[in-house]
Structure 1
C-alpha cells in the first residue's frame, strides 16, 4: 500500500492518539499501515513496538525495536522498552545488557531525561542489583570448594568482579614512577629489616613515654607555610593529628633525636631514602580520639610508608584503597600511600605510631640513585616539597 504523505501523517496522528488513550488495538492497526513508511517519513518502529507490546505481540515488538535501534542505538526510551520486553520474556542476560546501556546513556553529561522515563530507570537499577545478587550467589555456590587459603589476590579479583570492592590504583599527587606493582599493602614478612625494628618496640615505646611525660613536644602535622597559601585540609593547624619530628628534611631534629637514641638506631635498619632536603623523614604520629584524616593521596609511588604502632587502642584504623586494617602494638603496617587512604580514631584513647618511609623494594640501586638526583633537582628549583596530607 503506497501512502501519500498526508495519509501517513493522518495515520500517525491517529495511532499516537490511540496509544495515549490506552487503545493499543487501534494504535497497532493504524501504525502497522506505516511499516513501509511514506515519502519523507520513515516507518515509526518505536511506536509500533509500543503498541505491539501492549497487545502481547512480543515477537513483533522485539522485531520493531531491533529495527528502530538499528538507526537510533542510544534512544533511551527504546532501550528501556527493549530491556523490559527481554525481562518479561525471561531473557535476563539480554535485559541486563539493555538496562546497562540505558543507564549509561542516561548518565552522560547533558543527557535530557523525560520525567516518564525516570521510574523506568529506577526499575533498571533495581533489576541490575537483583541480577548482581544472583550472579554472586551462583559464584559462591560454584566455588564453595575453593580453599579458604586461596591467595588474597584471588579473593580481591572476585570481590572486584562482583562489585564488593572498588578498584583503587596509584595516583601520586606529585611524581609517578611507571611499572610498579599496584599493591596497597605490603606484608611484614616480606622484609628482613622489619623483625629487628619490631623487636625494639619496647625500647622505642619507653622513649615515647618519656617524650609524653616531658610535656608539649608534638606539633600539628599540617601547618601553614610562610609565604604560601594555607593547605585545603580540615586538620590544618589541628593538634589532633600531631607529629614529633625525629628526622625532617633529611636531617635529625634536635633535641628530639638525641633523647630517642633507640628509636634512631632502629630507623637506621630500614632502607630509608637519603635525599638532601627531603629524606630521611620520621616522626611519632599522634591521632587523638575523634580525629579523622580525610581520604587523600601521597606525593610519590616510589616509597612505602611504615607504621610501627606504639599505642594502638581499639577504634582506630587505616584504610588504604579498598582494605581497612587496624593497628596492633608492635606489628608493622606497610603501605603505598599513593593509593587513596584515610585514617581515624573512633576510640577513647590516643593512637601513636612511629612513621617513616622506605624505598619501594622493586627499585634497583641504579633507579634509586637516579630518583635521588631527580628529586634533588626538583627541590633545587622549587624548594622542598612539604606533605600537607
Structure 2
C-alpha cells in the first residue's frame, strides 16, 4: 500500500538512508493515484540531500495536485527563504495561512506556522521601511499627497486596516467606499447647522419636563431580541422625532424647529423605516460596540448638541470626535462604534439622508424595492 510505503520511506530517512528513501519515494510518486503527501516527503529528502532544484520540482508537483496542501506550502516558502527570495516566501506563507484558516492544521504544523507568522511580520516591517524611504525620496510623504493617495499608502504599508461596506440587510453595488463624508459637500448642511441653538433649546425643554429617553435598542414582545449588549439599557437612549416612518405623535409637536430643520435634508421615505430621526444620548461610560447598519444606500448624520470631553466615534479605520453644531456624516454600513468616556451625557440629533451618489431615478427604484421587501415582512435592526 502507498501508506505503508511512505512509512517505510520515512523509516529509511530517519535511519540515515536518504538515497534509499529517495528511491522508494520516486517509485511511490510514479504510481497511479499518488498524492501530494508523497511528493512533499520527496521534497524533504531532496532538501536534505542538498538538491534545491529537485526539492522545488517535487513541491511544484505536490501543489499541482493539491494547491492548498499546507505542508507543501510551508516547505515551498522555506525553500524560497533559503534561496534568499523573501518575496516568494511571503506569498507562499500567506497562502498557507489562508489554507490553515479553512482547515485546522495538525498540531505538528503549529511550530512551522508560528515561525511563518514571525517571518512574515518581519518581512512586512522591512518592506514598509524600504518603501517609506523610497516614497520619501519621491516626495510622497504625509501632507504632500492627496488624501486618497495617503490612505492607499497606509494600506500598502500595512498601517491601516481595510474596511468596506458590509450592510447587514441590503447592499447596493457600485457606491464609493467612503466611511466619512465632509459637511462642506452638502448644500443643505449649513441650513441644518444654523438651527443648532433652537434644536438644543427644544431638547432642553424636553429634558425639563422629565425623562424623555427610552432605550435605543428595545425588545419587542413576541419578537426575537436583538443581539446587542445594550438591549433595553437607557445608557444608549433615544427620543424619537420620526418613528415608523411618521412624525412622533408627541415629540414632533414639541420640537417644531427641529422638525423644520430636518426638512432641509434629503431624507428617504421608505415604508415604516424612513424618515428616521431622533435625539440620541450616550451616558458616561457607555460604549456602543462595533456593528454594521442595515443599508449602504443612506448616510447617517449627527448634529452634535451636547458633547463633553472624552467622546468619539470610529467608522471603518477612521476615528473622529463630535463638535457641537458641526454635522458629522458617515456611512454606517461600515463597521462602527462609539463611546462616551466623559463625565456627562453626550446628545446628538441623529437622522439619515440619501447618499449623494444615488440619482433620483435610482432612489425611486430603491424606495419601491425596499418597500416591497418590507411588505413581505422582512425587517432588520439598525443596532
Alignment partner, residue 118 of structure 2: 126
How far has the Cα of 1:83 moved from its partner? 2.0
Q: Which residues of 2 match residues 178-327 of structure 1 at below 5 A?
A: 178-327=173-322
Cα distance in structure 2, aligned partners of 1:60 and 1:381: 63
Gaps of 5+ in 2: none
Alignment partner, residue 135 of structure 2: 143
Alignment partner, residue 18 of structure 2: 28
Aligned residues of 1:12 and 1:31 also touching (Cα < 8 A): no
Structure 1 204/90 Cα, relative in aligned 2: closer, same or farther at 3 Å? same
Cα distance in structure 2, aligned partners of 1:368 and 1:47: 60
Q: Could you say what secondary structure the match of 1:31 adopts? A: helix
Structure 1 120/12 Cα, relative in aligned 2: closer, same or farther at 3 Å? closer
Q: Quick check: 285-294 or 85-94, which moved more?
A: 85-94
Larger Rg belongs to: 1
How far has the Cα of 1:240 moved from its partner? 0.6
Structure 1 272/88 Cα, relative in aligned 2: closer, same or farther at 3 Å? same
Cα distance in structure 1, aligned partners of 2:246 and 2:63: 67
Alignment partner, residue 369 of structure 1: 364
Q: Could you say what secondary structure the match of 2:177 adopts? A: coil
Cα distance in structure 2, aligned partners of 1:68 and 1:276: 57
Cα distance in structure 2, aligned partners of 1:10 and 1:332: 72
Aligned residues of 1:11 and 1:31 also touching (Cα < 8 A): no
1:82 correspondence with 2:76 = yes
Q: Could you say what secondary structure the match of 1:164 adopts? A: coil
Cα distance in structure 2, aligned partners of 1:175 and 1:68: 42
Alignment partner, residue 348 of structure 2: 353
Aligned residues of 2:198 and 2:258 also touching (Cα < 8 A): yes
Cα distance in structure 2, aligned partners of 1:247 and 1:240: 21
CA deviation digits over 1:50-106, x for unaligned, max 9?
Answer: 345345554554455445555555443333233223212312122222322333332
Structure 1 271/67 Cα, relative in aligned 2: closer, same or farther at 3 Å? closer
RMSD: 3.0
Structure 1 149/246 Cα, relative in aligned 2: closer, same or farther at 3 Å? farther
Structure 1 358/149 Cα, relative in aligned 2: closer, same or farther at 3 Å? farther
Runs of 4+ in 1 over 6 A off after TM superposition: 9-12, 41-44
CA deviation digits over 1:177-199, x for unaligned, max 9?
Answer: 33322222111110011112212
How far has the Cα of 1:359 moved from its partner? 1.4
Q: Which residues of 2 match residues 39-54 of structure 1 at below 5 A?
A: 46-54=40-48
Aligned residues of 2:245 and 2:272 also touching (Cα < 8 A): yes
CA deviation digits over 1:301-342, x for unaligned, max 9?
Answer: 221110011112222222222222121111111111222222
Structure 1 102/253 Cα, relative in aligned 2: closer, same or farther at 3 Å? closer
Structure 1 380/100 Cα, relative in aligned 2: closer, same or farther at 3 Å? closer
Cα distance in structure 1, aligned partners of 2:380 and 2:69: 51
Q: Could you say what secondary structure the match of 1:382 adopts? A: coil
Q: Could you say what secondary structure the match of 2:225 adopts? A: coil
Structure 1 59/364 Cα, relative in aligned 2: closer, same or farther at 3 Å? closer
**TM-score, length basis structure 2:** 0.85
Q: Quick check: 267-276 or 285-294, which moved more?
A: 267-276
Alignment partner, residue 116 of structure 1: 108
Cα distance in structure 2, aligned partners of 1:208 and 1:330: 14
Structure 1 28/311 Cα, relative in aligned 2: closer, same or farther at 3 Å? same
1:102 correspondence with 2:96 = yes
Q: Quick check: 300-309 or 255-264, which moved more?
A: 255-264
Structure 1 285/88 Cα, relative in aligned 2: closer, same or farther at 3 Å? same
Aligned residues of 2:165 and 2:177 also touching (Cα < 8 A): yes
Cα distance in structure 2, aligned partners of 1:106 and 1:375: 40
How far has the Cα of 1:354 moved from its partner? 0.5
Structure 1 207/69 Cα, relative in aligned 2: closer, same or farther at 3 Å? closer
Q: Could you say what secondary structure the match of 1:363 adopts? A: coil
Residue correspondences, number: 374
1:16 correspondence with 2:10 = yes
